[in-house]
Amino acid sequence: MDQHIKLGLIGKNISYSFSKNYFENKFKKLFLKNHTYSIFDLNDIAEVDQIFKDGNINGLNVTIPFKEKIIPYLDELSDEAEKIGAVNTILIKDNIKKGFNTDAFGFEKTLLLHKKDHHTSALILGNGGAAKAVKYILEKHGISYQTVTRNGDLNFENLTEEIVREHPLIIQCTPVGTFPNVEDCLNFPFSGLTSKHLVIDLIYNPEYTSFIKMAAENEAKTANGFYMLEQQAEKAWEIWNVQKK
């Protein structure tokens, strides 16, 4: 009889998770009756030790706020995960826990789908695990960027229309505006946007955040995080299936 394959997601306040539905639908389509996908809602990353003690877990996804904090609990990192400094996928094989970053793959797919030649400089809003994957891909494609953070030299208080105008690519990497807080929006000078701007908001729930709506009202081309999410999930699936053999 086939061994039971246990997969799951580590995060905090993640009852709205896309991943569980996505992978359970995949199991159905592929008639994989021996696969399950669980949600591990942790208050603190130290609780992950309990999950790892279950010798039957084959792979995990990692989401906010643990993409960086998970690293000390792993045995190995892929090249990308090491360079990025954030992990969103773990393969457990022969008792070795290896971290990967498939966010970078998903973001790259999204970027290349929408990017035009004039998108040569970017503003990255936020500096968490997702922002690190975004930086990695922008560097790979020779796109210069500045990061806007709450407490950095460039922050949401001193970000001007002028600065926005000079950066035709804007990537929103904070969780502000995620369900259920759909009315929330970053303090951002939307009037600096033009029809030449591409605004990518990595949030996928809701489909249209307040941020994306405001960007669209100011003529920017917009994309949400759904395609990135699907692509990073497919890449995780590939890692669990190709590398575990």
**In the chain, what are the domains?**
5-101 (3.40.50.10860), 104-227 (3.40.50.720)
Place of tokens 């692509």: 231
Give the confidence band of 2 by pLDDT, cuts at 50, 70, 90. Answer: low
Residue of 6, 20, 67, 97 marked catalytic:
67
Residue 60 pLDDT > 60: yes
CA angle 111, 109, 28 (to 5 degrees): 140
pLDDT in tens, 170-216: 999 999 999 889 999 999 999 999 999 999 999 999 999 999 999 99
Average per-residue pLDDT in the chain? Answer: 94
Residue 1 pLDDT > 50: no
Q: Which pLDDT score, from 0 to 100, does residue 243 have?
A: 63
Q: Which of 92, 80, 108 is nearest to 54 (CA)?
A: 92
Q: How far out from the chain centre does Cα 196 lie?
A: 25
The mean per-residue pLDDT over the stretch 57-86 comes to 96
User: What pTM does this model have?
Assistant: 0.92
67 is catalytic: yes
Lowest mean pLDDT among 52-66, 95-109, 139-153: 52-66
